[in-house]
Structure 1
Amino acid sequence: MTSPRLELPALPAVSFIMPVLNEAEYLEPAVRTVLAQEYPGEKEIVLALGPSTDGTTEIARRLAAEDPRVRLVDNPDRDIPVALNLAIAASRHPVVIRVDAHSELTPDYAARGIESLREQDADNVGGIMRAAGRGVVQSAIARGYNSPFGLGGGAYHGDGAPGPAESAYLGVFRRDAIERAGGFDPGIRRGEDWELNLRIRRTGGRIWFDPRLQVTYWPRASFDALARQFFATGAWRAVLVRRYGRANPWRFFVPGALVLGVTVDLAVLVLQCCGVLPWWSLWSALHLGTLGYLAGVLLGVARMPEQRGLRDRVLSFRTLVTMHFSWGAGFLKGILFGGGRTVDRSRTE
């Protein structure tokens, strides 16, 4: 049974909330797409500023001085869920829209999101994330994000049909739904969106996927940063598995199983090369799994659009393998030892 909701006014005012840390290259375009929303209701954007070292804070202060709709709050802890809670606490309006400094919204994003909240009697609505890149490496990483072979085929990475969802990318929330669920958990450093949406659903709330909502996302621009990001994501997904068990979709277990399987297979191959294990044994069946994985990655690369020549395909292959093995290694670490101090610092260095 759905929990009672506060009725939204005819044209609800909107609070956009954005965690910000070392985003000098991306912050201003992201804020501009918020301020340019084709929505006639009152708007504000609250930037939760972490301790940036690249001039981001100065850019944020300039934007706030230029437009009173831009408001600032300090986030000395730098972690995303803490930033989100601080921004929510500093905001004022009945609809809360989470945005990211690496994202750019289509002009109708807020209007369509609020329309879906009403039409679907939803507590949170999310749409499609379209990754984009500048330069050959970031473009390859973007192709990995957009491919079902990269992030497991979640609805918000493709063109799925509208309908109920387990979680949402970013999100257009009713404020009372966030408050009813208790806000973001500051102890979950990655996967905080999924965890909050789970608690919203457990209070009787409804999460809705609406593909009309479109967001451009600018991913990491180096393989080292991508690996650190995905290792942290995998570790904290494991924390959520330890906490919520079967509430997690099965696809989140696959990268960890992949890392285990390939590691055992390589050990078997070494022992066979050393003559410790015979080549014609049941152990050799593990090689088929590894070869099958490589064939699957090659198929994924072959299906990616916007590739020019061998270099792009090699970078696409490297992207997928980096995503899978970094996520899987982090997941195994998280299962064994918990999240601990694991955190993505790829944008702070």
Structure 2
Amino acid sequence: MSDSPSAGSETPPRTEGPKPRVSVVMATYNRLTLLPRLLKQLATQTLPPTDYEVVIVDDGSKEPAAGPLAELAQELPYSLRVETQKNAGAAAARHRGVLAAQGEVVIITDDDMQVPENFVQRHLEQHPPGSRNVVLGRIDPDPAILDMPLFERWYAYLHDRLAKRLHEEGAHGWNLYTGNVSFRREDYVAVGGFDPNLKQSEDIELGIRLEKSGCQVRFCNDSYVLHGSDHTSFEKWLARAHRYGIMDSRLSERHSDVPQVDPWRMLFEMNALARPLLATAVALPGPTKPVTDALMGVARLADRLGLNQVAFKSTSVAYTMEYLRGARAEAGSWREVARRISRYREVAASGGFLAQQGAGKDSSGAS
């Protein structure tokens, strides 16, 4: 894949000395107030500052980040590169950042994260010479999580459950997330990088291609970040769920041998009590929208009463209803819905990609 189509201003990297061993890459959009916190935390790393650099790609923020960050760069011990492009989406921005990176190992994180002092070193340790690892780190909630909306606390709950599962069972490409991941730059370039045509789930799609190319996907429980959020709109949260249903449908068409990313799996994996609601959201997408709103009303009430499990489970069902509405919209006809569900069941029964790789073996490892 080519670089981002719309180049803009950039802050050139420092040229003196050897190339860094690691590049920390992040995309940013309208979060200039949050960036200095993360950049200053990256300045206190246990790894010598000559061993790493930071590459930021501003994806068309209303207030460009390049100017203020150029001033901050003078106070930082490591090389900071800032590039600016017209708004093209996170995938295009991250792709541009990885191509600009000079390190052999690339770490990707988000602009609303916080990192400990050993963050970069922990990732680097997971990439010994000759390895082809893709390393997922843990995502823990920001200490201010209790002040955030219910749907953001639900995300934190899901991250915690995922971390436990990956630590116990190992990781795969479809688990990849851009909040805390590292890989060798040459492996990224070899598979073509992020697909900018996927406005969501581009991280999972990249992870699948990396694993199919022979990379070993690992989970490192010690490489953690703290995730906060400035999202407050319930309507935008639901719209995001809808888009994920659309994008995961396209992802599944591309990787039909990976049932773990097929959106129709939700009809079979969710709690049996929730399945009738999910089925009605597919059968009657419009008329059942008030049901989704009512579910979130139940979730908020449970949250106020301190019934966390009820609140989170109700939120999960509401999210999945909207997610499947997106998958239903992407499928179009009932015939196509039936075809995709049938294909999912067939591939899931056969084991899909895992069966092709000698199923059952956990080659990913965990540390």
Fold similarity call, TM over 0.5 = yes
The CA deviation at 1:321 is 4.4
The C-alpha deviation readout for 1:6-49, integer Å capped at 9, x for no partner, is xxxxx961111111111134222222233322212511111101
Moved over 6 A (4+): 264-267, 311-315
Alignment of 1:163-174 (within 5 A): 163-166=170-173, 167-170=175-178, 171-174=181-184
Alignment of 1:205-216 (within 5 A): 205-216=215-226
3-state SS, counterpart of residue 325 of structure 2: helix
- From 240, 258, 261, the equivalent of 2:279 is 261
Residue in 2 that maps onto 1:282? none
1:161 aligns with 2:168: yes
State the Cα RMSD in Å: 3.8
The CA deviation at 1:308 is 6.5
- From 60, 82, 86, the equivalent of 1:76 is 86
Contact 2:24/2:55 (8 A) holds in 1: yes
The CA deviation at 1:314 is 8.4
The CA deviation at 1:165 is 2.4
Question: What is the identity, as a one-letter code, of the residue corresponding to 2:35?
Answer: L
- From 86, 105, 109, the equivalent of 2:96 is 86
What's the TM-score once normalised by structure 1's chain length?
0.70
Name the stretch that deviates more: 237-246 or 115-124.
115-124
| Change over 3 Å in CA distance of 1:131–1:142 after alignment to 2 | farther
Residue in 1 that maps onto 2:330? 334
Residue in 1 that maps onto 2:255? 244
- From 225, 243, 247, the equivalent of 2:236 is 225
- From 303, 320, 323, the equivalent of 2:319 is 323
Paired with 2:142 and 2:324, the residues of 1 have a C-alpha distance of: 24
Alignment of 1:1-40 (within 5 A): 13-40=21-48
- How many positions carry a matched residue from both structures? 294
- From 41, 50, 53, the equivalent of 1:44 is 53
The CA deviation at 1:187 is 1.6
3-state SS, counterpart of residue 154 of structure 2: helix
Residue in 1 that maps onto 2:197? 187
Question: What is the identity, as a one-letter code, of the residue corresponding to 2:85?
Answer: N
Paired with 2:238 and 2:97, the residues of 1 have a C-alpha distance of: 28
Contact 1:22/1:52 (8 A) holds in 2: yes
With a CA cutoff of 8 Å and minimum separation of 6, indicate the structure with the bigger relative contact order: 1
| Change over 3 Å in CA distance of 1:54–1:156 after alignment to 2 | farther
Question: What is the identity, as a one-letter code, of the residue corresponding to 1:51?
Answer: G
**Same amino acid, percent of matched pairs:** 21
3-state SS, counterpart of residue 57 of structure 2: strand
Residue in 1 that maps onto 2:106? 96
3-state SS, counterpart of residue 148 of structure 2: helix
Residue in 1 that maps onto 2:187? 177
Paired with 1:160 and 1:30, the residues of 2 have a C-alpha distance of: 26
3-state SS, counterpart of residue 146 of structure 1: helix
Question: What is the identity, as a one-letter code, of the residue corresponding to 2:51?
Answer: E
Contact 1:123/1:177 (8 A) holds in 2: no
Paired with 1:224 and 1:100, the residues of 2 have a C-alpha distance of: 22
Paired with 1:263 and 1:228, the residues of 2 have a C-alpha distance of: 15
The CA deviation at 1:69 is 1.5
Name the stretch that deviates more: 24-33 or 252-261.
252-261
Paired with 1:133 and 1:327, the residues of 2 have a C-alpha distance of: 29
Paired with 2:247 and 2:210, the residues of 1 have a C-alpha distance of: 19
Paired with 1:244 and 1:313, the residues of 2 have a C-alpha distance of: 33
The CA deviation at 1:57 is 5.0
Question: What is the identity, as a one-letter code, of the residue corresponding to 1:328?
Answer: L
The CA deviation at 1:129 is 1.4
Residue in 1 that maps onto 2:14? none
| Change over 3 Å in CA distance of 1:58–1:79 after alignment to 2 | same
Contact 1:161/1:211 (8 A) holds in 2: no
Contact 2:251/2:261 (8 A) holds in 1: no
The CA deviation at 1:213 is 1.4
Contact 1:191/1:233 (8 A) holds in 2: yes
3-state SS, counterpart of residue 246 of structure 1: coil
The C-alpha deviation readout for 1:294-327, integer Å capped at 9, x for no partner, is 8xx97xx98xxxx664597887566434432332
The C-alpha deviation readout for 1:251-298, integer Å capped at 9, x for no partner, is 74344775651337889x99xxxxxxxxxxxxxxxxxxx9xxx8xx97
3-state SS, counterpart of residue 221 of structure 2: strand
3-state SS, counterpart of residue 138 of structure 2: strand
Contact 2:282/2:328 (8 A) holds in 1: no
| Structure 2, gaps ≥5 residues long | 1-18, 269-274, 334-367
3-state SS, counterpart of residue 167 of structure 2: coil
Residue in 2 that maps onto 1:60? 69
| Change over 3 Å in CA distance of 1:120–1:256 after alignment to 2 | farther
What's the TM-score once normalised by structure 2's chain length?
0.67
| Structure 1, gaps ≥5 residues long | 1-10, 271-289, 338-349
Contact 2:20/2:102 (8 A) holds in 1: no
| Change over 3 Å in CA distance of 1:56–1:226 after alignment to 2 | farther
